[in-house]
Amino acid sequence: MNFYLYLDKKTPIHRLDPRTKLFLLISSFIVATIQQHPIFALIVAMPIFAHGVLSGSLRNIRRIIGLLVAIGILAALLWSIQAKGVTPLFWKFQVEPLLYGISTGIKIDSMIVAGIIFLSTTKNEEVAIGLVKLGLPYSFSFAFCTALRLAPTIMGTARMVAQAQKSRGLDLQGGGLLSRMKKYIPLLVPIFLTTLRYTNQLSMALESKGFRAMEKRTFLLEARFKARDYWITLGLLLVLALVIFIRIKGYGEIEGLLL
Amino acid sequence: MKDVISMWKYTKMVVLVAVTAAVYAGTAIPFKGIQIVPGFAELRPAGAIPVVFGLLFGPAGAWGSCIGNVIADFFGTLGIGSLPGAVGNFFFGFVGYKVWGNMGWLSSKADLNIRTKRQVFEYILVAVLSSVTVAFIIAWGLELLKLLPFASIGAVIMTNNLLFSIAIGPFLLLLLYPRAVKWGLYWREIIDNEMVSRAIMPRVGALCIWVGALGGLIMGFLLSTGLYHGQLFHFAKGTTGSGVVLGVLPFLLLFFLGCLLS
Amino acid sequence: MAKALQVRNLSFQYKGTDKKVLNSFNFDVEKGELLAIMGPSGAGKTTLISTLNGLIPHLIDGKLEGEVIVDGWNTKEHETRDFATKVGMVFQDFETQLFSTNVALEVAFGPENLALSPGEILRRVRESLRSVGLEGFDEREPATLSGGEKQRLVIASVLAMESNLLCLDEPTSELDPMGKDDIFAIARRLKESKSITMIMVEHNIEEVLGADRIILLKGGKIIAMAPPKTILREVDLLRETGIRPIPITELFVRCRSKYLPLTLREGLESFRKEGWGIDEARYLSLIERDSLRASRYGRVLIEVRGLEYVYEGGLAALKGIDLQIREGEFVAIVGQNGSGKTTLIKHFNGLLVPTKGEVRIEGVDVRQTDILQLAGKIGFVFQNPDHQIFAEKVIDEVSFGPRNFGFPEKGIAERVDRALAAVDLLDSTEADPFSLTKAERQRLAVASVLASAPKVIVLDEPTTGMDYQESIKMMELVQELNKRGHTIVMVTHTMWVVSHYAHRVIVMKDGKMIRDGKTRQILSDLDGLREASLKPQQMVEFGRALGDFAFLSLEECRKCLVP
């Protein structure tokens, strides 16, 4: 079973400097969240989706399309119940909360998609180099990208443990709140202990391969800001400035929405 | 607080950071779906991890919670709000091992093999403090960034994290601590003693942490609900007002002072 | 000539324990030598390896006495990371040594730590990958490789450090037979082409024939150190040290021959020299016994029809399986990794639900029932016991299942006692499960299934990581359970285990069953084995070379042998 998202392709997005990709991700998040109106949310969702197409990440997005739809609809429903508006639609529903709900659904989906694209186009090692180039110490960057790498592995371990304990009759459903919480103990403990063993083995393997033997290490992958990185960064800055400007001017709000 | 820097010299501690972060993210991500439901008291077992791993792995647990939270955010909710999230989760894992054994007569003067009533009591205190800490830091940060009102988000974060920490934390420690010690992974045995910060005033530090965190959260709630009519748990967006940010600030500073002293 | 390695009065004791794991070791290793280290679990093999690059004492706490000198450096005086260019370490569990996004970056990790230039790193990546036959794999993701390829990648990543001493700790114990062969071929090539000194911990006896010397360890002491030709003939000594002797050698030792062979060819020669023969009538009685056993099976317990299974990502793991398993059978399922064995057995207790076709347990479609009800009928022992062990005490671990199934509290203690007695862990009732050895933990996993008294026991790779004696103990336990009426379904790579214990063998390849029949028939079907990339058993091959005999063990051969 493959839990890793990275797709080995040679698209222009893959070839960007990791810092640019990180900036792309963060910009996507900011742009996606800043406006209230679903029209704006949709407008923002489109370039994010285009980014996905351009970077060949559709395969990973398709894998979770059902989840995205479910999350979108659920979020739209729940957030529209929470808010209040002024224009009645039918029965207890009002226009503004519904718009707000739809926009929130789109925003949450956009953010998830942006995250998936980043992980589909960026190797863990690139994340590490990116962080080092941004001035963070290598040990920290290594821990960060190893964690990124390990998280899906641990989800895999969790699945195995769940299978093993279910085979021994563990039933997560049913029971009161406290007893249901306690049922996580037979699940969590083997996951943790397996991981702790791994800690010792990985530490030994790392030391044996000269981890931190030198003051500074080198990298096989190069990370250099090239012309296209500058252009994209510049473009993103302009987009961000524009979006923030529009927001400050008061556009993109749903009038009459009460939170 | 020197240990949070000096620990990076130890390969095992670096790996423990990665492992804590991965476990935290790996057990939080499957529950992400629930988080998009506004105000829902998101019940995720991951909530117990920073407290337990902080006690076991010390600074590696703190860094791991911080990084793990950022990684979990990669799957959906990364944004400006991840910044207070990262800081809050760092201290979520940090305060536990700092105050353990440093709370005077409240401390059990025993190890992490939670068996006696006094140990359970000390653990519950630590779990409460940790949950209060993460709640007041994140709530303050989100209020400062004008993203979410202090009262609602603070209450939600605190209860979510506290429930699992208290319900299963003591059992986890009972099952994990002896084995961590046996496998040479208890943090005090990894880090050379002279490397561990000779805490300047550990008890005063612990007191400052308690007063800062608890005071900060209570002050935030009072200001947010009283001054601006916000509601605990009630879900809303935006801000309740700069009064909350200013009112909580002194407690935040006291809290940081406490961290430096311990 | 300078020594590659000098070990002087080496002793070691882990922190918090009261026994020395290594007890005054003294030996030297010459440059270019291939040294094999063998011994039972717990003999100190891994501990010894860990002293060679300073993991002991720098990363692992304990009391170290004596000296280890590698290429002139004392391990006490230099950190482990400084030995990175002197000693290459390949650990047993390859999964934990792979942490990069692709193959090239995995190999580059070490040289990057040495701060070499990108050009030099690339050269080393290329050369190391060539040495292990992974050229062109640069961009592959390690997780998508087979077990054998993963271990080869680990070796490449260590070779890239260009150290002159390479230590391998049971590099093949988790691999299927073909994967094992690849690793040994690489080891031989490295020894010949690069004159690298190698120290290899190994269980597999046939494979250490190429070593220059073997060190036998037991209880933290060196009990023998000699060339393989000498040691491999010491059959009793090998058995004592938890090593499975070469069957052909053992056969001739047991028959008191003076011509002790080490290979099949030598065996045939010795057989001729001794002037022995095979009694056909006795052989036929073996076959009759097989048939008699098969006629005693009861009703059908597991029935699979047209079973197909496709994983979420679209991978078709099972492509049409039809089979029946009757009460009292002992079935082994064999095949390469990825052939669908584990996917198949996970259908038996409802962990997986068929994409197409059906699985019936005692006539009930698994879709109509749930895992909790099935778990009472089908006990499942997973490959890795550590994926389920959580309790503080052995007794709690074993009671977990029966409690979940809601058995009356009064009967549980008795069930637990009986289960623990069956796996010989009654003395450890109050112990911490993690103070047990790997083999004991695996038996504990069996006990925790046994306590619910299921009709069928399904075991996934029950002997992985065990030495010979432990494997025998495990399999005798399984055999005993079978005799007491439990139906056994077992997935395994260990062909001698299949040969000695299973009644019936199912061979899988690419999601299909390519053979299904009595053990004797399947194991002597050399084409079928080859098709599934499985190696024939030496005794079967021996019998085939002598006539149309298929011996499943050397005891069978001995019974039919007429001097």
Indicate whether A65 and A146 sit together in one domain. no
Q: How far is CA C260 from the centre of its chain?
A: 27
pLDDT for res A44:
83
Q: Give exposure, C283-316, as e/b (b: 16+ Cβ within 10 Å).
A: beebeeebeeeeeebeeebbbbeebebeeeeeee
pLDDT score of B32? 58
The answer to whether residues C304 and C322 touch, using CB atoms and an 8 Å cutoff, is: yes
Is C317 strand, coil or helix?
A: strand
**Is the residue at A9 inside a domain?**
no
DSSP-assigned letter for residue A217: -
* Nearest to A27, CA basis, from A252, A237, A258, A256: A237
Q: Which chains are within 8 Å of A by 3+ CB pairs?
A: B, C
Number of domains in chain A: 2
Quick one: how far is CA C292 from the chain centroid? 32
Phi and psi angles of residue C222, each rounded to the nearest 5 degrees, phi first:
-80, 120
Nearest 5°: the CA angle B50, B56, B62 is 40
Chain C partners within 8 Å of B186 (Cβ): none
Strands C330-334 and C487-491: parallel
Contact B45 A67 (CB under 8 A): no
Q: Do B175 and C392 touch (CB under 8 A)?
A: yes
Does A71 or C466 have the greater pLDDT score?
C466
From chain C, pick out residues whose CB is under 8 angstroms from the CB of A157: 387
pLDDT in tens, chain A (259 residues): 345 678 888 888 888 898 999 888 888 888 887 777 888 888 888 888 888 888 888 888 887 788 788 878 877 777 777 667 777 777 767 788 888 888 888 888 888 888 888 888 888 889 899 899 889 999 999 999 999 888 888 888 888 999 999 899 888 777 777 888 888 899 999 999 999 989 999 999 999 999 988 888 889 887 788 888 999 999 999 988 988 888 888 777 777 676 6
Q: What is the pLDDT of residue A2?
A: 47
Q: What letter represents residue C436's amino acid?
A: L
Q: Are B206 and B150 in contact (CB under 8 A)?
A: no
First to last CA, chain B: 6
Q: Is residue A181 part of a domain?
A: yes
CB A32 within 8 A of CB A44: yes
* Residues of chain C found within 8 Å of residue A125, distances taken between Cβ atoms: 100-101, 105
What distance in Å separates the CA atoms of residue A117 and residue A60, rounded to the nearest whole number? 8
Contact (Cβ atoms closer than 8 angstroms) between residue C502 and residue C490: yes
pLDDT of C343 > 60? The answer is yes
Sign of the C-alpha dihedral computed for residues C413, C415, C421 and C423 taken in this order:
negative
Nearest to C529 by CA among C497, C559, C553, C493: C493
Q: Are residues A230 and A204 in the same domain?
A: no
Residue C196 has pLDDT above 60, yes or no: yes
pLDDT value for B38: 47
Average pLDDT, chain C: 91
Q: Flag residues of chain B having pLDDT under 50.
A: 34-41
Question: Distance between CA atoms of A117 and B172, rounded to whole angstroms?
Answer: 36
CA dist C369 and C351 (Å) reads 12
Residues pairing with C226 in the sheet: C214
3-state secondary structure C340-408: CHHHHHCCCCCCCCCCEEEEEECCEEHHHCCHHHHHHHEEEECCCHHHCCCCCCHHHHHHHHHHHCCCC
Spatial neighbors of C185 by CB under 8 A, at least 6 apart, are: none
In a domain, A142, yes or no: yes
Q: Is C561 within 8 Å of C276 (Cβ atoms)?
A: yes
Instruction: Report the distance separating Cα C361 and Cα C303, nearest Å.
Output: 6
Residue B203, pLDDT score: 87
Task: Provide the token pair at C424.
Answer: 């010989």
Predicted confidence band of residue C193 (pLDDT cuts 50, 70, 90): confident
Share of chain C above pLDDT 90, in %: 70
Q: Are residues A160 and A109 in the same domain?
A: no
pLDDT digits (tens, 9 = 90+) for C385-438: 999 999 999 999 999 999 988 888 888 999 899 899 989 999 999 999 988 888
Is the CB of residue B4 less than 8 Å away from at least one CB of chain A?
Answer: no
CA pair distance C149, C161, nearest whole angstrom: 19
Answer whether C392 sits within 8 Å of B184, measured CB to CB: no
d(CA C111, CA C275): 59
A57 and A105 together in one domain = yes
Higher pLDDT, A70 or C498: C498
- Same structural domain for residues A116 and A235? yes
pLDDT at site C515: 95
For C3-240, which CATH class?
A: alpha beta
Asked if C79 has any chain B CB less than 8 Å from its own CB, the reply is: no
Which residues 384-443 on chain C approach chain A with CB closer than 8 angstroms?
Answer: 384, 386-390, 400-401, 403-405, 434
Sheet containing C165-169, strands listed edge to edge, beginning at the edge strand earlier in sequence: C87-90, C165-169, C197-201, C34-38, C213-218, C221-226
Partnered with residue C487 across adjacent β-strands are C456
Q: How far is C13 from chain B (nearest CA, A)?
A: 14
H or E segment to which residue A159 belongs: helix A138-167
C78: three-class secondary structure by DSSP: coil
Nearest chain B Cα distance for residue C62, angstroms = 10
Q: What's the pLDDT score for residue A61?
A: 83
C-alpha distances in Å from residue C9, one per residue of B116, C22, C29, C168: 45, 10, 15, 22
Helix (H) or strand (E) run with residue A201 in it: helix A185-208
Pairwise CB contact (< 8 Å): B167 & A182: yes
CA distance C188 to C35: 12
- Asked whether the beta carbons of A143 and A150 are under 8 A apart, the reply is no
Question: Using one digit for the tens of pLDDT, what is the confidence trace for C220-249?
Answer: 999 999 999 999 999 999 998 889 999 999
Alpha-carbon distance of A31 to A247, in angstroms, equals 10
- The Cα–Cα gap between C210 and C36 comes to 9
Sign of CA dihedral B225, B230, B231, B233: negative
Give chain C positions within 8 Å (CB) of B182: 16, 434
* Chain C residues close to A164, C-beta within 8 Å: 380, 382, 387-388
pLDDT of residue B49: 94
CB pairs under 8 A between A and B: 162
Instruction: Give pLDDT, residue B36.
Output: 46
Q: How close, in Å, is residue A204 to chain B by CA atoms?
A: 8
Q: By CB neighbour count within 10 A (0-12 exposed, 13-18 middle, 19+ buried), where does B194 fall?
A: exposed
Query: What CATH number is given for C288-299+330-353+371-532 in this structure?
Result: 3.40.50.300
Domain that holds residue A44: 18-123+223-248
Subunit contact B67:A147, Cβ cutoff 8 A: yes
Give me the phi and psi of C474, to 5 degrees please.
-60, -50
Give the CB-side neighbour count of residue C289, counting CA atoms within 13 A. Answer: 11
In angstroms, the CA B221 to CA B227 distance is: 10
DSSP symbols for C223-266: EEEE-HHHHTT-HHHHHHTT----HHHHHHHHTT-SS--SSHHH
Burial of A52 (C-beta count, 10 Å sphere; 0-12/13-18/19+): buried
Residue B40 pLDDT: 43
Compare all CA atoms of chain C with the CA of B177 and give the residue at the minimum distance: C392
Average pLDDT estimate for C358-371:
90
Task: Based on the fold, state whether residues A203 and A240 are members of the same structural domain.
Answer: no
> B227: closest CA among B247, B254, B249?
B247
pLDDT at C188: 84
**Mean per-residue pLDDT for C313-339?**
92
The count of C-alpha atoms lying within 13 angstroms of the C-alpha of A153, restricted to the half-sphere facing its C-beta, is 21
What's the CA gap between C452 and C416, in Å, rounded? 9
Q: Do A33 and B39 touch (CB under 8 A)?
A: no
Q: What secondary structure does DSSP assign to C442-484, as a single string?
A: HHHHHHHHHTT--SEEEEESTTTT--HHHHHHHHHHHHHHHHT
The Cα A126–Cα B165 span in angstroms is 35
Of all residues in chain C, the percent with pLDDT exceeding 70 is 100
Looking at residue B198, its pLDDT comes to: 67
Nearest CB neighbour to B235, from listed A75, A82, A211: A82
Model confidence at C288, pLDDT cuts 50, 70, 90, reads very high
